Amino acid sequence: MKKNAQFLRLAIFLLVLTFSAEANAQFKFSAQLRPRAEYRHGYKTLPATDAKPAFFISQRTRLNFDYGAKKFKLGISLQDVRTWGDVPQLNAYDNRSSLHQAWGQYFFTESFSLKAGRQEIVYDDARMFGNVDWAQQGRSHDAAILRFSNDAIRIDAGFAWNQEKQNLYGTDYMLKGNYKTFQYLWLHKKINDFSFSVLFLNNGMEYFKKDSTYQTLFSQTIGTRLSYAVKKIAVNGAFYYQGGTDHKDLSLSAFYFAADVKFNFTDAFAMLLGFEYLSGTSEKDMKDSTFNKNNSFTPFYGTNHKFNGHMDYFYVGNHNSNVGLRDLYLSFIYKKKKFSGVLTVHNFCSAATIIDRDDPTKDMPNRLGLEADIGLAYQLADGLAVKAGYSQMFATASMEALKGGDKGKVANWAWVMLAFNPTLFSK
């Protein structure tokens, strides 16, 4: 209850600030409301033989304030995420409200700035850094970013250092599922119809050692993304390598490769053909008593729901330090006026060896299954859209070996969402 009251007070403060801002300042006050109903029977993993479907409604509510003066900008985003029914009618407490973003950006010059605070970090196609907007909670980082940007080039240098509290001594970091520190450099340049980006990420994860002490282990990701677009064809390619030490104190050597080509047949209809390869670690190697090298690539902070099927079988809080993935996919895209639709089919294979569960001396086929995704959207009004989707997984015995469950059961997922995104006030 206390946290909810703080949320309300801050929202009122932002409203007052909006209407009392300087006459020459730029500001926008906007909102977002996203109730989403989901049916799940095989989402993220295959259903067990006797599993019953799940059905629920989740909701994201955001209030966004953006302020711009001559030398600085300010962004604040208040957020409440809940599942309908998770709070009783007579509510005595509510800890679901949070601060999604709270950042300030100071401009030393028109081209050079420092942006610091809680913020979304999104680059390129969001494969390596993304805001995970599909997830109701989204993703944001406590970070500082030095930015140089002009018409010719953009360079970002980012830094993050995380602690659970304001300690008197030491810097051990024990929050599970989060990094302790990172430093990165991202460069992007466009030359006519061609553009490229380069990323270097030094990622530090805290490791609890056998002697009950903590050590920060660092891995490095380096790579590039290339794009070329001319008339009705767009081509993209990317390659990244990961080395160093993983979060389990294993030597890391992994890579990622992707390529896609999009054909825009008309203004309304397009086709996309693509392939992704994320290296993996053989299950035979993992069973070896001398195993000390991880060959599994991890897209640490990407919008992973956007890739490898909407049912989130891979890299959405799962499938890490695993056998990797090969994903060959084909999309048909239609968009005209207020309506849009996408049909995508994925063919999944593992990138490394899967051991036969009945006979460990044998290997299983690499093919994991086929997923079909349908997504539809219709713009009902300015700032309001209805969106819906249906997905189904057709799994193989190899997928069953990795995920468990019963491949013979229908694995499907459906959802429908109202997306309100109004601008309440702007100047």
Tokens encoding 260: 């896609």
In degrees rounded to 5, what are phi and psi of residue 327?
Answer: -130, 110
Distance in angstroms (rounded) separating the CA atoms of residues 337 and 32: 23
Residue 289 scores a pLDDT above 60: yes
User: Which residue, 285, 232, 240, is CA-closest to 258?
Assistant: 240
Distance in angstroms (rounded) separating the CA atoms of residues 347 and 148: 41
- Strands 214-230 and 233-245, sheet pairing: antiparallel
pLDDT at 4: 56
Which amino acid, one-letter code, is at 217?
L
**What are 264-280's pLDDT values in tens digits?**
999 999 999 999 999 99
What percent of the chain shows pLDDT beyond 90?
A: 85
User: Which residue, 180, 33, 178, 4, is CA-closest to 98?
Assistant: 4
Mean pLDDT of 390-413: 97
Of 112-116, 234-238, 259-263, 286-290, minimum mean pLDDT range? 286-290
The answer to whether 348 and 329 are in contact (CB under 8 A) is no
Other C-beta atoms within 10 Å of 212: how many?
Answer: 6
Rounded-to-10 torsion of CA 237, 226, 101, 319 = 20
Extract the runs of DSSP E, i.e. beta strands, from 69-111: 72-83, 97-107
**What are 149-176's pLDDT values in tens digits?**
999 999 999 999 999 999 999 999 999 8
Phi-psi region of 94 (alpha: psi -120 to 50; beta: other; left: phi over 0): beta
User: Which residue, 383, 380, 379, 375, is CA-closest to 416?
Assistant: 375
Residue 305 scores a pLDDT above 90: yes
Distance in angstroms (rounded) separating the CA atoms of residues 377 and 389: 9
User: Which residue, 117, 214, 221, 136, is CA-closest to 175?
Assistant: 214
**What are 133-151's pLDDT values in tens digits?**
999 999 999 999 999 999 9
pLDDT at 18: 57
Who contacts 211 (Cβ-Cβ below 8 Å, separation ≥6)? Answer: none
Q: What is the pTM of this model?
A: 0.93
Mean pLDDT of 352-370: 95
**What are 42-83's pLDDT values in tens digits?**
999 999 999 999 999 999 999 999 999 999 999 999 999 999
Residue 87 scores a pLDDT above 90: no
Distance in angstroms (rounded) separating the CA atoms of residues 333 and 344: 9
Q: DSSP of 30-49, one letter per residue?
A: EEEEEEEEEEEESSSSPPPT
Rounded-to-10 torsion of CA 102, 107, 108, 110 = 160
**What are 222-240's pLDDT values in tens digits?**
999 999 999 899 999 999 9
Who contacts 406 (Cβ-Cβ below 8 Å, separation ≥6)? Answer: 46, 47, 48, 49, 400
Q: What is the mean pLDDT of the chain?
A: 94
Q: What is the largest CA-CA distance in the chain?
A: 75
Who contacts 354 (Cβ-Cβ below 8 Å, separation ≥6)? Answer: 283, 323, 363, 364, 365, 366, 398, 401, 402
From the CA atom positions of the chain, what is the Rg in Å? 23
Tokens encoding 416: 């429908």
The CATH number given to 2-426 is 2.40.160.100
